[in-house]
Structure 1
Amino acid sequence: MKTIFGPINSRRFGSSLGIDLSPALKQCNFDCLYCELAPSATTDTQKNIVEVSTIINELKEHLNDKIDVITITANGEPTLYPYLDELIDEINKIKNNTQTLILTNSATLVDEKVFDSLLKLDQVKLSLDAISESVFKRIDRPHVGIEIKNIVQKVIDFSNIYKGKLFIEILFVHGLNDTKEEIEKLNDVLLKMHPTRIDLGTIDRPPAYPVSGLSYGELHKASLLFDSSLPIHIASRTHAEPNNSSYDNEEILNTLDKRPLTMEDIDLLFDEESKKRLENLISTSKIVIKKVGNLEFFILHENEKRKRLK
């Protein structure tokens, strides 16, 4: 399977070319309630591994000066990739002015090698959904042995020495980490950090488990509970700029396999011919529409089927 997907107009990071370090299956040390991937057993190692040379060769084919950021991610947790340090070094050799970014759940920062590897990136997005151990375990469902107190300390340590752009993401789940008490704990920890931005988000894609997100109004109220000195941002699609690129059938399927998209996303990403190809894929049932709240997402039929079987 291909490791490169996109480019996607990220609502927060610009035109993003993605690298999926686990394209064949989900490999993660968390099994988050809100994950857009199907539920699966957690792991602390990758069994199915793509060679660094394969990733770099694919990246060279797709990288151009219109890409704002090369985003390292995975069907799961990208920092479980055993050759991450080598991969980052190789990307840095060819990226030119393009920024590098990783999206991680923060748990492996307790590993000194991972910690040092992430320091080489231009941008790092660390997730931190809860501070209380009980809330953390309910939302993120971590692999055995992972404790939030250790993660929190390493996130603080990282923020104090990292020279690039650091983003902290908190994803709120209704009735779990959106309480005043948990937000106060998050606030106290965030005041010890030096992030570029703190993104407050919620469930806006089909989740792995039957949980619900917050409304924009509820997110706004939550944002007011944080210290005014913190760079709080309510994540939103409304500031995305049009890309209107051409996608063939395989690229459409590959992109939707990695990230379900709304029609708003499609209007920003696809040119008119690509939209016609999307319509044909829908008519042949290769792509289906799944509604989450007031939003409708385009998702691969096989992914929808897999989720129903869980």
Structure 2
Amino acid sequence: MSLGIDLSPAFKQCNFDCLYCELAPSATVSKQKESVSVDTIIQELTKHLHDKIDAITLTANGEPTLYPYLNELIDAIDKIKGNTATLILTNSATLVDNNVFHTLLKLDEVKLSLDAVSSEVFNKIDRPHESINIENIVQKVKEFSHLYKGKLYIEVLFVHGLNDTKEEIAKLNAALKEINAVRVDIGTIDRPPAYPVVGVSYKELHNIALMFDKELPIHIASRLHAEPNNSYHTKEEILNTLDKRPLTMEDINLLFDEKSKLNLQELLESNAVIVNRVGNLEFYIPKNNLKRKRIKPQEL
């Protein structure tokens, strides 16, 4: 069970504008323009933290390592977390910053994204801020993996026609062999993307997994084994959640109690929430969210 902390709750602040992002497209930034105080986060965390929480997950409506008080926040969390693990989900780009690099070493678990290692493919998929260079990122990921004492996970998200080629997979394979990770999660688009791109099939993911060296801890990411955590959500909370993370009915059955499902039904009846089909899955998203996500990228 994970308790997430959104380090950019007001709006998206990210140094990538990934084609597959479940958030709306936005201009990339190199630092946060608006931040929540550490005291505010700790106050909220104290209210909701309990002994059934397995991990406190630092994430964001964007990139969490852009949060300017990350080091201070982690120190504050460590004082109250007890045996609960701390985890961050990051796109890896800020590991080139020495302060961020050493701050992440403090965490119990780190999950780094690495969608491509060649500059051309990386720039097409992740659409990074102009200051970001993939060669530097890969080098820092390697260095971090050999210094880090916690559990390191690597995540690769495959987009059809971009990083699913034999050539790019071979380059990823070579890089991953030099990274000391406990698991490499490979997955694909399973939520409405920011731009008109598509994922690969499960069969294709399986074939991709077979292209990596056998000694690599490749894992095909799946939500099929998720445990239910049914709880109550107001209509406002449902809209906020769906705006940031579109959900399938499978997700809803795992997350919502019966009263929350009634709130969702009323939102559907009022047309505040609509159903959007992606592949063979149906996602519930705010109606306004659909409109703003139909922006065509400058180049694919």
| TM-score band w.r.t. shorter chain | over 0.9
* TM-score of the aligned structures, taking structure 1 as reference length: 0.92
Report the more deviating stretch, 283-292 or 261-270. 283-292
SS of structure 1 residue aligned to 2:211: coil
Q: Report the residue type matching 1:92 in the other structure.
A: D
Q: Matched residues in 2 for 1:254 and 1:213: separation?
A: 25
Partner of 1:50: 36
Paired residues of 2:194 and 2:294 also in contact (CA < 8 A): no
Cα distance in structure 1, aligned partners of 2:295 and 2:147: 45
The alpha carbon displacement at 1:257 in A equals 2.8
Alignment of 1:113 onto 2:99 = yes
Report the residue type matching 1:139 in the other structure: I
Q: 130, 139, 152: which one pairs with 1:153?
A: 139
Separation in 2 of the partners of 1:196 and 1:289?
37
- What does residue 202 of structure 1 align with? 188
Distance 1:211 1:258 in 2: 18
Which residue type is aligned with residue 126 of structure 2? D
2:77 aligns with 91
One of 112, 119, 129 as aligned partner of 1:143: 129
Match of 2:264 in 1: 278
Answer with 166-175 or 89-98: which moved more.
Answer: 89-98
Post-superposition shift, 1:101? 0.9
* 1:232-251 matches, cutoff 5 A: 232-251=218-237
Unaligned runs of 5+ in 2: none
AA matched with 1:69? A
Aligned to 1:11: none
8 Å contact 2:183–2:218 — kept in the other structure? yes
CA RMSD of aligned residues (A): 1.3
- Partner of residue 238, structure 2: 252
SS in 2 for 1:224: helix
What amino acid does structure 1 have at the position aligned with 2:268? I
Output the CA distance in 1 between the equivalents of 2:268 and 2:83. 38
- 1:101-145: CA deviations, max 9, x gaps? 111000000001000111111111100011111111111111112
CA–CA distance in structure 2, aligned partners of residues 182 and 125 of structure 1: 21
Give distance in 1, aligned partners of 2:230 and 2:131: 45
Question: Who is 2:112 aligned against?
Answer: 126
Query: Does residue 1:220 correspond to 2:206, yes or no?
Result: yes
Residue deviations 1:260-282, cap 9 Å, x none?
11100111112222211211122
Distance 1:97 1:255, change over 3 A: farther
Asked if 1 retains the 8 angstrom alpha-carbon contact of 2:157 and 2:189, the reply is: yes
1:70 aligned to 2:56? Answer: yes
What percent identity do the matched residue pairs reach? 71
Separation in 1, partners of 2:52, 2:271: 33
C-alpha displacement of 1:297 = 1.0
AA at the equivalent of 2:170 = E
CA displacement at 1:223 relative to structure 2: 0.3
Q: 1:286 to 1:98 in 2, by over 3 A?
A: farther
SS in structure 2 opposite 1:230? coil
Counterpart amino acid of residue 280 in structure 1:
E
CA separation in 2, counterparts of 1:209 and 1:48?
25
Structure 1: runs of 5 or more not aligned: 1-14
